[in-house]
């Protein structure tokens, strides 16, 4: 909120955010849920006990032209805006005991879209490039790469107020997006920073042709 209040109107072309859903998925539940496979033991925290205040969504609309808000079905009374352009992430979970899909509100005037990518415990849509889980509500890099390919363009300024595992930053790196991101939890920040550096190191060794040294 401090950063948002210091940001000029319409500074970002797009916000892609994944704020707390207020359903307690902040580490504690993961110790007891998940019967198909042994669950990851995350450090229990308390950041997912409530959704952001109305003022947060007002600030998002003020500082950006468009918004994509994950988990909006848990907080529509605060967003207070309808949309024809919802995004559905189908996790292809089968009969897992987690949600089959997640929903994102968008401010775009486009058709609703479905992105299918398996994200069921140890099973992932891209097993050849399997991602290590460092955050209890981590989203795959593939999801953010799809979002940026369909809702952003290279060079665009994008904001993420809840960086979490850093998946968005990795996707932005490959898409040529200028991402500003916040993460106030020190544990997640350092884990995400290490992950981003590790995942993007190979491309830094081999810059694009024509790039200055």
Tokens of 37: 């496979």
pLDDT for the residue numbered 169? 98
Residue 71 has pLDDT above 60, yes or no: yes
Cβ 203 vs Cβ 180: under 8 Å: no
Name the residue range of residue 52's domain.
2-154
Confidence bin at 212 (pLDDT 50/70/90): very low
Domain membership of residue 142 (yes or no) is yes
Domain membership of residue 207 (yes or no) is no
Residue 210's Cβ-count burial label (10 Å; 0-12, 13-18, 19+) is: exposed
Q: How many structural domains are present in the chain?
A: 1
Question: What is the average per-residue pLDDT within 187-208?
Answer: 81
Confidence bin at 204 (pLDDT 50/70/90): low
Give 103's strand partners.
Answer: 88
DSSP state string for 140-176:
-HHHHHHHHHHH--TT-EEEES--TTSHHHHHHHHHT
The tens digit of pLDDT for each residue in 20-29 reads 999 988 876 6
The tens digit of pLDDT for each residue in 77-120 reads 999 999 999 999 999 987 666 789 999 999 999 999 999 999 98
Domain membership of residue 9 (yes or no) is yes
pLDDT for the residue numbered 156? 97
Question: What is the average per-residue pLDDT within 124-130?
Answer: 93
Domain membership of residue 176 (yes or no) is no
Cβ 143 vs Cβ 118: under 8 Å: no
**Mean pLDDT of all residues belonging to the chain:** 89
Question: What is the average per-residue pLDDT within 140-145?
Answer: 98
Residue 131 has pLDDT above 90, yes or no: yes
pLDDT for the residue numbered 206? 47
- The values of phi and psi at residue 148, to 5°, are -65, -35
- 202 versus 133: which is more confidently predicted? 133
The reported pTM is: 0.87
Confidence bin at 41 (pLDDT 50/70/90): low
Domain membership of residue 34 (yes or no) is yes
Residue 211 has pLDDT above 60, yes or no: no
Domain membership of residue 76 (yes or no) is yes
How many C-beta atoms lie closer than 10 Å to residue 107's C-beta? 18
* Whole-number percent of the chain with pLDDT over 70: 86
Residue 143 has pLDDT above 90, yes or no: yes
Domain membership of residue 187 (yes or no) is no
Confidence bin at 173 (pLDDT 50/70/90): very high
For tokens 């069921």, name the residue: 120
């Amino acid at each position: 909120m401090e950063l948002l209040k210091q940001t000029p109107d319409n500074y970002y072309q797009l916000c892609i955010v994944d704020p707390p859903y207020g359903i307690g998925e902040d580490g504690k539940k993961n110790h007891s849920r998940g019967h198909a496979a042994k669950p990851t033991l995350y450090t229990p925290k308390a950041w997912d006990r409530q959704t952001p205040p109305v003022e947060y969504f007002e600030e998002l609309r003020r500082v950006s032209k468009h918004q994509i808000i994950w988990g909006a079905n848990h907080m529509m009374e605060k967003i207070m805006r309808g949309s024809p352009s919802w995004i559905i992430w189908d996790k292809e979970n089968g009969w897992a005991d987690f949600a089959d899909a997640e929903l994102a509100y968008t401010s775009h005037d486009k058709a609703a879209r479905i992105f299918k990518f398996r994200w069921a415990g140890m099973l992932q849509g891209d097993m050849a490039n399997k991602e290590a889980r460092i955050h209890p509500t981590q989203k795959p890099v593939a999801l953010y790469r799809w979002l940026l390919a369909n809702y952003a363009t290279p060079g665009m300024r994008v904001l993420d107020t809840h960086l979490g595992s850093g998946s968005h930053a990795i996707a932005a790196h490959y898409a040529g997006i200028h991402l500003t991101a916040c993460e106030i939890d020190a544990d997640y920040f350092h884990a995400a920073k290490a992950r981003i550096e590790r995942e993007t190191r190979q491309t830094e060794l081999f810059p694009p042709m024509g790039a200055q040294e």
